[in-house]
Chain A
Amino acid sequence: MPQTFAQKALARAAGFDFAEVGQVVDARPDVVLSHDNTADIRRTWLEFGQGRVTIPEKLAITLDHAVPAPTTKHAQNHAEIRAFVQEQGIRNAFEVGRGICHQVLSEEAIVLPGQLILGADSHTPHFGWMGALGAGIGRTEVATLWATGELWLRVPESMRIVLDGPLPPGVTAKDFALRIIGDLGADGGLYASVEFSGSGIESMSLESRMVLPNMMAEFGVKTAYIAPDEKVFDYLARRLARRQTTDGGRTVTEAEVAIRNSQLAANAIYPDADASYIAEHIYAAAELEPYVACPHSVDKLATLSQVAGTRVQQAFLGTCTNGRLEDIAAAVEVIRGKRVAAGTRFLVIPASSQVLQDALRLGYIEALVEAGAHIGTPGCGPCMGNHMGVPAPGEVTISSANRNFQGRMGTKNAEIYLASPAVVAASAVTGMICGPGNL
């Protein structure tokens, strides 16, 4: 029987050769993710009366959602997490400033192709960029995994989304994602596993690929997938080798990278050609254009020209969706030699310390600060309204994030527009929503 990616990946995680759509399996994830919510998860886990987490080597914990701590209560929360990490000997734990969970676990090659990662974070489908099955779960479920190592999951129906041809200049993976959600609705992928394919995906940079499964959380999916290729294996093999040798203090050889590369390829999972899908949507890349999602829903799609001229008080570049090096590069290209408009703030928060270091080395940070931007600690920033860039009532933000619900950035009566990094940067320059072509 032919199988989709989700069928194969969940069968593997449950120890079967085959899983049927609709079947409920007890899956054993390879990685269990939690972040600032870890202290609360621990309080639930304590109810199980265990002194030790049963799967410490599978836990990955990042401090990223409200960092550095904005209040005493947040600081206390972080302190509890640090104590737990130490007490349980969790190796894959990342301090304040290292970056956003999805970015850090990608950079550190903690999740690998074909694996199952369950996270107490709704954007865990992110890991589909490398062909892993990522799904979001609740805190009590993470506590359950710490205690038992397994969790029930239903094998989802799958949907195919094809991108034909390369994206035209000025059109990004973000625009493609916004268009899909705008066309099909915020519930258009409800519960499904989305498999991306097509020449437009194959020619995309890895950083751009990361945008797609990440944004599919806003489409209601359980998970999303891109077939891993040589580029993915090479990226992960190098990082895996580097991580393992940093521990051992040696440098890696190309031969070692090659071995890891072939191991990664051997564990990758691909759907069967004749697997069955509930829907297929084909997009011609050449017909796409820059889009903006309007308040207060990601599926309120507008073309850039339809909303151009809307005043913005804040432009925010960052998050697990669009806070990577190529996003910062796109912003720098737009803003270099220009100034952020009076009456508008431009906040740039790299997705990780690695992104920040690369951006520093390439002179991007200098160019941004010179233009009047300000730079925040790698992490989620104001994405979910904890701190560091919360808008005032009545203010409008244009953001490179993935979500624009009412109150999302911490203020009920504030508006959030979502767009690509270049549009965010151009809007910062004019103080109005616009594209780089309008400068």
Chain B
Amino acid sequence: MSTTGRAWKYGDNINTDVLFPGKYTYTAQGRAEIASHALEDLDPAFVKNVKPGDVIVGGSNFGCGSSREQAASCLVYNGVAAVIAESFGRIFYRNAINFGLLVITCPEAARAIQSGDEVTVDLARHRILTGSGEFAFPPFSASVGQILQAGGLVEYVKTKLRETA
């Protein structure tokens, strides 16, 4: 499995408030409304120009802050395929996996990729392919891999409940 798209590059400590402002977190419902507020306070051009398959590239501690899961789902609803960063806030990391969003810890790639670069994530070979080179990333842990394979936590749990029923 692999996915290709353009890179949107941001800095360190990209927090959940700039990914999805808190003032919408108890009222926004549905894919379109949640998608419309993505990165609202960071990069208003993002929502207008993002294409399915695009990749977000961040520095360290990407997604730090709140537990709000729209910080991850708003990216998925905009078609973002993966986030590549030097490191991730732990709740964001879990939320992303739970929505089937690839979160890839790869400091070398995160530093090398520039905004607008074409980026391919090759999941089978654990490689990121870009104009500036090829980067390996560690495979996902078994628990994370299972959830990704199911297409997210909801589908994973549904299957589990069916099996135990």
Give the interface of A toward B (CB within 8 A).
Answer: 24, 36-37, 39-40, 44, 47-50, 65-66, 71, 73-74, 77, 119-122, 124, 136-141, 143-144, 147-148, 152, 154, 186-187, 190-191, 220, 222, 297, 384-386, 403, 405-408, 410, 412
Contacts and interface: CB of A to CB of B under 8 A. Distances in A.
Given A137-B67, A386-B22, A154 B141 contact: yes
A120 B25 CA distance: 12
8 contacts: A77-B27, A122-B65, A136-B91, A138-B72, A141-B98, A220-B90, A406-B18, A407-B22
B151 interface: no
A408 B41 CA distance: 10
Nearest to A122: B67
B48 interface: no
A410 B69 contact: no
Given A37-B26, A119-B67, A144-B153, 18 more contacts: A24-B142, A36-B26, A47-B158, A50-B161, A73-B26, A74-B26, A74-B27, A120-B67, A121-B67, A140-B152, A141-B94, A141-B153, A186-B13, A187-B61, A297-B13, A384-B23, A405-B17, A407-B18
A47 B29 CA distance: 15
A190 B90 contact: yes
Interface of B: 13, 15-18, 21-23, 25-27, 29, 41, 60-61, 64-69, 72, 87, 89-91, 94-95, 98-99, 141-143, 152-154, 157-158, 160-161
Contacts of B143: 24, 152
Contact of A186 (B16, B41, B64, B154): B64
Given A24-B141, A140-B154, A147-B157, A37 B25 contact: yes
A193 to B, nearest CB: 11
Contacts of B25: 37, 384
A144 B153 CA distance: 8
Given A138-B67, A187-B64, A407-B18, A73 B94 contact: no
Contacts of A136: 67, 91
A44 B156 CA distance: 13
Contacts of A144: 153, 157
Contacts of B29: 40
A431 B158 CA distance: 56
Contacts, number: 123
B87 A187 contact: yes
B29 to A, nearest CB: 8
Contacts of B68: 37, 139
A71 B87 contact: no
Nearest to A121: B67
Contacts of A143: 154
A136 B99 CA distance: 17
Contacts of A47: 154, 158
B145 to A, nearest CB: 11
Contacts of A121: 67
A201 B146 CA distance: 42
B91 A187 contact: no
A174 B21 CA distance: 25
A138 B98 contact: yes
Nearest to A71: B27
A340 to B, nearest CB: 26
Contact of A148 (B65, B66, B160): B160
A-B CB proximity, top 10 nearest = A187-B61, A384-B22, A138-B95, A405-B17, A73-B27, A407-B41, A138-B69, A122-B67, A136-B67, A152-B143
Given A24-B142, A120-B67, A405-B18, A385 B90 contact: no
A406 B41 CA distance: 8
A139 B152 CA distance: 13
A385 B154 CA distance: 29
B52 to A, nearest CB: 22
B61 A186 contact: yes
A364 B44 CA distance: 45
A220 B64 contact: yes
Contact of A410 (B21, B72, B158): B21
Nearest to B27: A73
B158 A407 contact: no
Contacts of B157: 48, 144, 147-148
A386 B17 contact: no
Contacts of B158: 47-48
Nearest to B164: A148
Contacts of B65: 122, 403, 405
A352 to B, nearest CB: 20
Contacts of B26: 36-37, 39-40, 65-66, 73-74, 77, 386
Contacts of A24: 141-143
Contacts of B91: 122, 136-138
Contacts of B17: 385, 403, 405-408
A414 B102 CA distance: 33
A54 B104 CA distance: 34
Nearest to A410: B23
Nearest to A156: B90
A143 B161 CA distance: 13
A190 B89 CA distance: 7
